[in-house]
Amino acid sequence: MTENVCQGSKGYGFIIPQIGCDQVQNSPYGYNTAGSCSIGFLLTSIKSDCQAFSYLSAYACGVGQIANPPDTTTLNFTNFILADNQLGAVLRFGSSLKSTDNSAYF
């Protein structure tokens, strides 16, 4: 699912699963754009300690993107365009193993 546009949604523009970090340069869900939505993108969790997403655009949304992946130690988001949103990125993640070595890369 690539190269789609959602404009003016009262809810979510897109609900899309994150991908493994090894797919970040060739996302099967990349190049989608959400504009004037309550929430541009909700990125759902996958079973991986390294989750990623790439090539999305959100503008003029209440929230550009939300991600809340549990049991994740590394997030890698690349080639994001978040412009004129009330909140750009809402992110909360961590490991139930109580790891203190968690990293997020934008």
CA distance 26 to 72: 21
Of 71, 68, 80, the closest CA to residue 105 belongs to 80
80 pLDDT higher than 70: yes
pLDDT category of residue 71 using cuts at 50, 70 and 90: confident
> Considering the entire predicted model, what is its pTM?
0.85
72 pLDDT higher than 60: yes
Long-range contacts at 28-31 (CB < 8 A, ≥ 24 apart): 28/1, 28/2, 29/1, 29/2, 29/53, 30/2, 30/54, 30/55, 30/56, 30/79, 31/2, 31/3, 31/55, 31/56
CA distance 99 to 85: 32
Instruction: Name residue 35's beta-bridge partners.
Output: 7, 59
